[in-house]
Amino acid sequence: MIRIRIQAGLFFCEFGALVASLAMLSGCVGLVKANNAPLSVALSASPRVVHPGGSTTLTIKATGALQIILTNNVDNTTVSLPANGGMVGVSPSKTTSYTATATGNNQTAAAETLVIVNPGVVNHVLFLMQENRTFDSYFGMLNPYRKANNFERADDGKLYDVDGVDDKLTKIANSDDQGQSFGLFKLTSTCIDDDSSAWLQSYGDVNRFDYKVDRAILMDGFVHTAEGFAQFCNQTNQNGQPNCPGLGAFTDTAGQRAMGYYDQGYLNYYYFMASQFALSDRWFSPVSSESVPNRIATMTGGTTQGLVHDPGSEDHLTQQLNIPTIFQELDSAHVSWKIYYSSTQDQCLVTATNCPGPGVGVNKLPATTFENFAYSAQYIYSKSSIHPTCVPPTQNSGTAVGDPANSFCIDPTHVAPLTQLFTDIKSATLPSFSYIEPGYSNDDEHPGSNQSILKGQLSTATIINALMASPSWQDSVLFFSYDEGGGPYDHVPPVSGHSNDNTDPSLGITTDISSIAVNPDGFNPCVAPGGVPTVHCDLNPGNLALGQFPDPGANPADAPAQQGFAAQLGFRLPNMIVSPFSRRHYVSHSPMDHTAVIKFVENRFIGPGAHLTNRDAAQPDLAEFFDFQNVPWANPPIPPAGTPVPNGNDPNCHAANMGP
């Protein structure tokens, strides 16, 4: 604290217990002029050092003053105070000098204090992934929105464009098997029929079932794939049962839905937030397949050790995977982590009033991809003859996570329901790394699950808004994306060494993804021996006589057979980086996949040399997204009223309106 006083005609500065007269001290900060009257003012800050976005209280005390004005050296803001002073709360975005100037009886005295804002430090990383949407289908129309709202100019003064479809609406088309051509169009329903994003179909999307190393990359198979999937699902098997149980009858059997896109009309929250914070238009999923392989590859730094299908519902593997994960890596480094789940395996949302309740299954574990790994067994498992009681640190689910209708063992310090996430955010007790699983088939935005995308958008907004309004905001980074493309169209090839006519060269984009599309390890996709999948081989050799196409890689001439998992990544995904350190309105064109987030976590909490596979090691460090010195969003943006769409419901979203 600096105090100014007048005594016997001399001006004095007090610095704690140190007192110096003007005869000894040239230039006393705090006193400009006084005329032999008892005028003094003191100014202090508590605390004097804050994190970006943090607040401090300024205390001003004065005697003999008629007026006190508080100013700072950053802007022209002034605050008038009573004659005896008072207290003022401030939240400086950068290190700031505050000055209290007191006047009275033709005298002026001033006191100054410095509030230091430490450069940004990330102490918490959160990763939230929703389900099955490509960049073009969700964020392809960001450019018109950004331009209309003056969100193009980033904090470096440069204008940034997004490589979307707004300038390609009349240039792009896919055809169905009857030769009917479908161009890009705006969807009018917030729910659509499902698409297939499996290994075979994802390669077919890129080029109608041509997997050779020298294949052309035409991005012309999306309608063909969606058409075939709908027709297959509308048929029954030899037992008279639906081929795709739970999906219902498809209304779009031509596959046109694959060419549909949304804009800010339905995605108003996403469009606003993605235009405020930084994003990438070259963010891919790590595997050219569906959700579970991509979520597995995310946790492992890019590898499934050969698997291309879902080891649970498709490969029916009972053996858990022994693949090292980011969670093991963090445990070895004594770094905290937690997985937050939104639903149990019977699709019961933990935030819903009916969970637990009538109709909710007993002994249903939380729905999390983590359970595919053998390493998860020490943190969560079902009670059985082998484990009749819970072994510490696990506890019974009834007491540990408030789920008495179920009976499983869980370590709530590492696996917890979504309700705990909101508690941890509010109380500033987040772990170093948080992995947030969505409410599968409830609010995850997955096509074909009879749910409106508005419901998922609302769920995401609830999490992000809670973070922005909490003390956890000041030192957190939340990465938001989707686990995989899911089948909707995207124009950017996820293949090394390839571009196409629809990739905009004017943006100066690095179109080649060779820098990140590296084989994670020594495993390549392989044919399941005897047709029975193992934990490393699950390719289907196919049977053309029965109309069954072989999986890509089953033929030695196929690209994945020769190049492994470097041959083709998954498609581009919507994303945003939500943090006080995120650059304003910034768009990155650097290639990356989900494992870049894993690398970011490794770099921050373990060290720059840490990595799980060659894939996460090859990712960019993501430094371009952040400004840790100026902290652009120390005070987070406020989404406009009505954002997201109230209630997250769409009355037009029902089974009869799930087509284009």
Residue 425 is inside which H or E element, if any?
helix 418-426
The predicted pLDDT at position 51 comes to 74
Contact 86, 102 (CB under 8 A): no
The predicted pLDDT at position 352 comes to 57
Q: Say whether pLDDT at 22 is over 70.
A: no
The predicted pLDDT at position 26 comes to 34
Q: Say which residues have a Cβ less than 8 Å from residue 646's Cβ, sequence separation at least 6.
A: none
Do strands 67-72 and 96-104 pair parallel, antiparallel, or not at all (unpaired)?
A: antiparallel
Helices (H) and strands (E) in the chain, counts: 13, 28
The predicted pLDDT at position 158 comes to 94
Confidence bin at 20 (pLDDT 50/70/90): very low
- Percentage of the residues of the chain whose pLDDT score is greater than 70: 88
Closest CA to 30 of 112, 153, 145: 112
The predicted pLDDT at position 282 comes to 94
The predicted pLDDT at position 642 comes to 84
The predicted pLDDT at position 433 comes to 99
Q: Say whether pLDDT at 656 is over 90.
A: no
Q: Say whether pLDDT at 305 is over 50.
A: yes
The predicted pLDDT at position 25 comes to 32
Q: How many CA atoms lie within 13 A of 94 on its CB side?
A: 10
Average pLDDT over residues 32-61: 80
Confidence bin at 29 (pLDDT 50/70/90): very low
Q: Is the backbone peptide bond immediately before 640 cis, with ω within 30 degrees of 0?
A: no
Q: How many CA atoms lie within 13 A of 284 on its CB side?
A: 33
End-to-end CA distance of the chain: 68
The predicted pLDDT at position 402 comes to 78
CATH class belonging to 2-117? mainly beta
The predicted pLDDT at position 611 comes to 97
Would you state the structure tokens that stand for residue 166, as one six-digit string?
A: 């707004």
Going through 380-486 in order, the beta strands assigned E by DSSP cover 380-382, 395-396, 408-410, 415-417, 433-436, 476-482
pLDDT in tens, 320-330: 999 999 999 99
Q: How far apart are CA 321 and CA 504, in angstroms?
A: 41
Q: How far apart are CA 557 and CA 637, in angstroms?
A: 52
Mean model confidence pLDDT for the chain: 87
Out of 114-118, 148-152, 338-342, 567-571, least confident range: 114-118
The predicted pLDDT at position 430 comes to 98
Q: 393 in helix, strand or coil?
A: coil
The predicted pLDDT at position 615 comes to 98
Confidence bin at 135 (pLDDT 50/70/90): very high
The predicted pLDDT at position 23 comes to 33
Three-state secondary structure of 468-530: HCCHHHHHEEEEEEECCCCCCCCCCCCCCCCCCCCCCHHHCCCCCCCCCCCCCCCCCCCECHH
CATH class belonging to 124-336+431-657? alpha beta
Q: How far apart are CA 286 and CA 596, in angstroms?
A: 10
> Which residues pair with residue 18 across a beta bridge?
15
Q: How far apart are CA 597 and CA 126, in angstroms?
A: 9
Confidence bin at 39 (pLDDT 50/70/90): very high
The predicted pLDDT at position 351 comes to 65
The predicted pLDDT at position 562 comes to 94
Out of 82-86, 272-276, 298-302, least confident range: 82-86
Contact 188, 280 (CB under 8 A): no
Q: Say whether pLDDT at 296 is over 80.
A: yes
Closest CA to 419 of 337, 352, 336, 346: 352
Going through 486-617 in order, the beta strands assigned E by DSSP cover 575-578, 587-588, 592-593
pLDDT in tens, 82-105: 999 999 999 887 889 999 999 998
Give burial (CB, 10 Å; 0-12/13-18/19+) of 512: middle
Q: Which residue has the tokens 């069954």?
A: 548
pLDDT in tens, 404-460: 767 789 999 999 999 999 999 999 999 999 999 988 878 899 998 778 899 999 999
Q: How many CA atoms lie within 13 A of 556 on its CB side?
A: 0
pTM of the full predicted structure? Answer: 0.83
More confident position, 363 or 651: 651
The predicted pLDDT at position 500 comes to 58
The predicted pLDDT at position 442 comes to 80
Q: How far apart are CA 512 and CA 494, in angstroms?
A: 9
The predicted pLDDT at position 8 comes to 37
66: how many CB neighbours lie within 10 A of its CB?
A: 12
Q: Is the backbone peptide bond immediately before 412 cis, with ω within 30 degrees of 0?
A: no
Out of 460-464, 480-484, 630-634, least confident range: 630-634
Confidence bin at 347 (pLDDT 50/70/90): low
Contact 288, 203 (CB under 8 A): yes
More confident position, 648 or 323: 323
Q: How many CA atoms lie within 13 A of 220 on its CB side?
A: 17
Say how far residue 554 (Cα) sits from the centre of its chain.
34
Average pLDDT over residues 354-367: 58
More confident position, 8 or 494: 494
Exposure string (b/e) for 528-556, b if CB count within 10 Å is 16 or more?
beeeebebebbbbebeeeeeebbbbbbbe
- Percentage of the residues of the chain whose pLDDT score is greater than 90: 65
The CA-based angle 89-115-107, given to 5 degrees, is 80
The predicted pLDDT at position 14 comes to 42
Q: How far apart are CA 573 and CA 85, in angstroms?
A: 54
Q: Is the Cα torsion angle 466, 468, 473, 477 positive or negative in sign? A: positive
Would you state the structure tokens that stand for residue 243, as one six-digit string?
A: 């081929």
Average pLDDT over residues 1-26: 38
pLDDT in tens, 494-529: 998 876 556 555 544 556 799 999 999 999 999 999
73: how many CB neighbours lie within 10 A of its CB?
A: 11
Confidence bin at 488 (pLDDT 50/70/90): very high
Confidence bin at 18 (pLDDT 50/70/90): very low
More confident position, 499 or 569: 569
Give burial (CB, 10 Å; 0-12/13-18/19+) of 611: buried
Domain boundaries, the chain: 2-117, 124-336+431-657, 337-414
Q: How far apart are CA 394 and CA 409, in angstroms?
A: 6
Q: Say which residues have a Cβ less than 8 Å from residue 447's Cβ, sequence separation at least 6.
A: 132, 191, 192, 193, 194, 195, 257, 486, 487, 488
The predicted pLDDT at position 75 comes to 82
